[in-house]
Structures are given as C-alpha cells and as structure tokens.
A and B are shown apart, each in its own frame.
Chain A
Amino acid sequence: MNHLDDDAELYALGLTDRERDAEIEAHLAECDACRARVVTAEAAAASLAAALPPAPAATSRRAWWPAVAAAAAVVFAATTAFEANSARAANAQLARNDGALVAIASSHFGHTTLTADSGVVAKAIYARDGAWCYVVATGAPRGAHVVLHQGTAARDMGALDGEPGTLFVRGAGRADEVDVVAGGRTVAHGTPAY
C-alpha cells in the first residue's frame, strides 16, 4: 500500500471514512514513517480539542462505567500478567497514570450491552477465550443472579454484589447467553460474540 500522504492528517481529524480507516490502520501497523506522521497530526488535533468547552457530567444511569473500567483493570492484571509486564516495560516513557490504560489496551476481551428492563443498565465483558466473564448492572433488583447458558445447560453463577451490582466469574467458558435473573424473571439478557 502507498503511504498515507494527506490522509494521515485527515485520519487524525476523524474525516476519513470508516472503510478507508481500516486500510489506514493496517498500513500504520507496518509503516514507521506514516505512523510518526499520524502521531504528530493527532497531537495537533488534540490541541484543537483543548479549546472545546467542557461537557456537563453524564446522568447517573451511566454510572456503571467506572466499575467496568476498574474491574477490567483488575481482571486483566490477574489473567494476563505476562503481557501486562511487557506492556509496562514498554510504557516507561509514558505518564505514570497511563499504565493501567495501556495494559488494558493491550488485552483481548469483548463486551456487550445487555438488553434490559427499563431502569436497568447491564453490561458483560468477557475474555475471548472464555477464561472469565464480568457482569455489571445498575438498577437491577437486589439479589439478582447471573445465569450463563451454554448449549442446553444453564448455570447459576451467583448473585450480583453492591450497587452497581457486579459479579466476576472465573472459568466462565464461552457462554452462548448471559442473563441477569431476579425473582424468576430475566431482567437483562445478552449474547457475547467471541
């Protein structure tokens, strides 16, 4: 593939179309010169962002995010210690605060938003190899359980804990479906895509 030329700057500004983005990212993986050009352009674009007014905080129904993010960091550290170590070593030049983000950014997991009853927001993140699954829900009834379905088998993995309710399942396997069940009713439901 040819070098990116002006598309390096247009990509950094978010102005290339998404099909072209895939080609650009493939090229960046193997071309140091274009990667350096994109990194420079992204720095300039980030400066443009610095002049934007601040955003109001999101409403509380988005409050599950920090729990997911924190849990993802813990899960990642526990399950891929080797990769985390190499990421940390390579990351020495970055700001100290970026370390956890960098480690997670190097991991491989999927996530899905569960279809949920009104008032419930639930999310599942899961290792692509089925090593673990983490479910977090806001607004779920107290004592709601996580049920994983695999083929015809359904396994109750236990109750969500806290608010937002969270449950980390080790050795989850590649469940076909993830349910949050309360009082015999499914209040949230989703399908992981490994």
Chain B
Amino acid sequence: MVLDGPAFDRAYRDHAPRLRAVAFAVLRDRDAAEDAVHGALMRVWSAGAYRPERGPLLPFLIACVRREALDAVRSAKRRHLREVRASADQPAATDPTAAVDPVEARRVRRALEQLPEAQREVIVRAYYGHRTLAEVAHDAQLPLGTVKSRLAAGLRHLHSALSEGPR
C-alpha cells in the first residue's frame, strides 16, 4: 500500500474512536483524553516500540493508551494541578448500547458474567473503576498477591470465554 497522507488519515480515523474511549474512561476530560492518545501514539512511533511480528496493532495501542491515561490521571492527582476526575468512585457506565461497538460490548459483558465472582469483581474494580492494584486490594479487603493472581486468572479466563463463546 502507499504510505501517503490519506492512507494514514484513514488508519487514524479507524482507530481513534476506540483509543479515545479508553483514555476518556480514565480521564473524564475530552482534551486530556485526546492528549493521552496523541502522547501514546507519539511514544510508540518515536521509540519504534512496535513491530508487526509482535501481533495485532490495535490491542497493543489500546494497552499503551490506557497506560498513558492512567499515568496522566495519577500525576495530576499527585501534583493537584488540575481537576481531572478519575471515575474511580463511580465505575464508568458500561452500557452496551452506548459502546463504540455495541455487539462486541454485549459479547464482552456475557463473557464477564461467566467468570467466577471473585475474578469478575477484581477485573471490574481495576478496569472499569481505574484502580491501582493497591487500591483494589484495599477496597476489596484482599491481600495484594490475591488481587494479582485473581486479575491474571480472570483475564485468561475472559480470553477463553471470548474465544469459545458465540460471536
């Protein structure tokens, strides 16, 4: 394919809504979210951090954007510089009909419902409540090691449920 401006624009447009949703869920500020997306993409590109043989691009970018957004909200909290409201106290709404891809969203919710309660709880707290490991441990009154192993097992379980479940 030709690496011209229009081709790049198309790629950016295809991915930007998903990436923006990831950042916005954490930051609750549209400009801060856009900055997090730009920052993550620039970081990935300037470091040459991605190679195609690594695997699909979008999940990698989503992980990068989420890290960037979590960093931004935590440094903002530390510095008290700006009012960026982490939605930690009120887990982000996960209304499947309002998602970027409602069909995929429903499928994910069904898969989450198949997880053991203990695993689902820590995933929802950490991912949709944007909590750190220590915060999840504190809120759920669990040892840190238990939180880590439940999160990891839960994510693996979720992957199996999504791979086997009806599409």
Contact = CB atoms under 8 A, between A and B. Distances in A.
Nearest to B42: A111
Contacts, number: 239
Interface in B84-125: 92-96, 98-101, 104-105, 107-109, 111, 123
A69 B41 contact: yes
A13 B31 contact: no
A9 B156 contact: yes
Contacts of B105: 50-51
Contacts of B152: 5-6, 8-10
A47 B108 contact: yes
A55 B65 CA distance: 14
B166 interface: no
Nearest to A63: B34
A53 B98 contact: yes
Contacts of B24: 52, 55-56
A9 B56 CA distance: 16
A9 B155 contact: yes
Given A15-B126, A58-B31, A74 B3 contact: yes
Interface of A: 5-6, 8-15, 18, 21, 25, 35, 39-59, 61-62, 65-66, 69-74, 76-77, 84, 87-88, 90-91, 93-111, 125
